[in-house]
Amino acid sequence: MIKKFIKYYKPYKKLFFLDMFVALIAASCDLVYPWMTKDLLNISIPNKDLRMLVTFAIALILIFAVKAICAYIMQYYGHVVGVRMQGDMRRKLFTHLQKLPDKYFDNTKTGEIMSRIVNDLNDISELAHHGPEDLFISIIMIVGSFIILLNINITLTLIIFAFIPFIVLFTFIQRKRMHNAFLETRVETGEVNASLQNSISGIKVSKAFVAHKEEIEKFEKGNKRFILAREKAYKVMGEYFSFANFSVDILNYVVLIAGGLFTFYDIINIGDFMAYVLYIKMFTDPIKKLINFMEQYQNGMTGFIRYIDMLNEEPEKDKENAKDMKSIKGKIEFKDVHFGYEDKNILEGISLKVEEGKMLALVGPSGGGKTTFCNLIPRFYNIDSGDILIDDKSIYDFKLESLRKNIGIVQQDVFLFTGTIRDNILYGKADATEEEIVEACKMANIYDFIMNLDQGFDTFIGERGVKLSGGQKQRISIARVFLKNPKILILDEATSALDNVTESIIQKSIEKLLVGRTTIVVAHRLSTIRNADKIVVLTDKGIEESGSHDELILKGGIYKELYKLAKANS
């Protein structure tokens, strides 16, 4: 895992090595100061050497200036490395998310994904900057001070260093416990974020049903789990830090008592003793830094593990010899198609054809697989067996991106992105000209409405188009399909949630959209599909009936019953 982490430093190795070089200079400056103090106490002051004292004063101020410059470079460029690595990871993760199949998003909460992209990567960024720097400085300080301490007095140094193995052993024992505790905390943080995202997205529903109490209770359950996980992590941290800091205090205690005795018996002089006290502080400070580093390491690496786990999710893939789908006529054929979600079979042995430029309407009860049928054509899900053909070629022989470019979808639940009307229409064709945008909006019967807005196409529509009505959102979604100009069109209950007047307006837009395209319509209101070339009644038993409107009425089967029921309710 560490090898994978190190790879992310590669684009910024120059900045990284600059940071390490500056850290080396800063650590060296720290090591010089106590030695100068020793000479000052042992030589300059007893000999009343003012010249040496002035030299020390100038040298020290220069050392402190160099340290200040080093501190700036480490603080600034070190963080630059961390934040750029974070940006690379976030970009890579977001790009990977775009390629994941719908099944992944069906089973993963949005808040959990957000937690990994934001919280986890923040901690990884901090580790990327502070981790190597703290580790490098600590090693330099420990090794350097150890060598100098040996030069002052070997016996005293060995007495002190006899305590080090106990600190190291305890750190390794606690490392596993800290890892598990931090990982559990991250999982619960994701759950809290997911609960928050869900509650905020549905705030209008909870207000409408006066369900604040239920939402608070739901949130509080996750919040309590998070608190318990965090408390557990803090307990492990408390044990770790208390013992580690106690060990460091013992080192200082041994230096003070043993060093005092060595000075008392003239084994070392007062200058050496003072230098020893300063160097031991330089020795214990990096130990404290390493102790703190363990928390940061666990925080960052548990986040990195979760980041890698998400990158390891299998993306959507093209076949090895897949080709671009170029100009197509739009003939669609299902050949003995089977598909199910996990343990539940949805479509079994579905076989049918839709000729180019014709309209197929799918009707039937909820749960019969109508929407699933539509989702299989652009390969939002892969079929279990059988095949789906476009112009007599398997959709799996085409590159996924080119397949989807030839398919336009208008759904009941229109999703508009936060931004302007123009931003959302341009999803149909990113490089469209102003004339093309205007024409698409006119065809969708939304142009006059847009022109009456103060900002026109640049009107901000809020999150998910909250500032627009359902009909306005639907017409914008139709406009972007006009702009895309696909050969195959899928309408998934595109007007079922609208009132009769709005539906009538949008139906005119849809009629224009149908011209010259192979169309599959999932219909709730059967009056909208009377003119379909073929109507298929799809239930959980498969295709129960198929034919034109008149043929199915004459059969007197399920379709006729559905049609009579629809007329009675209209």
Asked if residues 145 and 110 have their Cβ atoms less than 8 Å apart, the reply is: no
DSSP H or E segment with residue 354: strand 344-354
Q: DSSP code of 499? A: -
> Tokens in use for 79?
């963080």
Rg (CA), the chain: 35
Nearest to 514, CA basis, from 437, 422, 443: 443
Note the pLDDT of residue 387.
Answer: 94
402-426 in b/e burial notation, b at 16+ Cβ within 10 A? Answer: ebbbbbbbbbbebebeebbbbebbb
Give 447-456 contacts, CB < 8 A, sequence gap 24+. 449/475, 450/421, 453/421, 455/420, 456/421
d(CA 507, CA 498): 11
Note the pLDDT of residue 306.
Answer: 84
Q: HSE-up of 431 (CA within 13 Å, CB side)?
A: 0
- 485: which residues sit within 8 A by CB, 6+ positions away? 408, 428, 429
The strand ranges marked E within 398-551 are 407-411, 488-492, 518-522, 534-539, 542-547
> Tokens in use for 6?
């190190």
What CATH architecture does domain 2-311 belong to? Up-down Bundle (1.20)
d(CA 445, CA 263): 95
> 2-311 and 332-569: same fold?
no
Asked if residues 116 and 194 have their Cβ atoms less than 8 Å apart, the reply is: no
- Per-domain residue ranges for the chain? 2-311, 332-569
User: pLDDT truncated to tens, each residue of the chain (570 aa)?
Assistant: 778 888 888 888 888 888 888 888 888 887 776 677 666 767 776 777 777 778 877 888 888 888 888 888 888 888 888 888 888 888 888 888 888 888 888 888 777 788 788 878 888 888 887 778 878 887 887 787 778 777 777 887 777 777 777 766 776 666 666 666 666 776 676 676 666 666 666 665 565 555 667 767 777 777 777 777 777 777 776 777 677 677 777 777 777 787 778 777 777 777 777 777 776 776 667 776 776 677 677 778 888 888 888 889 888 888 888 898 888 888 999 999 999 887 788 888 899 999 999 999 998 888 788 888 999 999 988 999 999 999 999 999 999 888 988 988 888 778 888 889 998 898 888 888 999 999 988 888 888 899 998 899 999 988 778 888 888 888 888 888 888 888 999 988 766 656 666 667 777 777 787 888 899 988 777 777 888 889 998 888 888 888 888 888 888 888 888 878 767 665
What CATH architecture does domain 332-569 belong to? 3-Layer(aba) Sandwich (3.40)
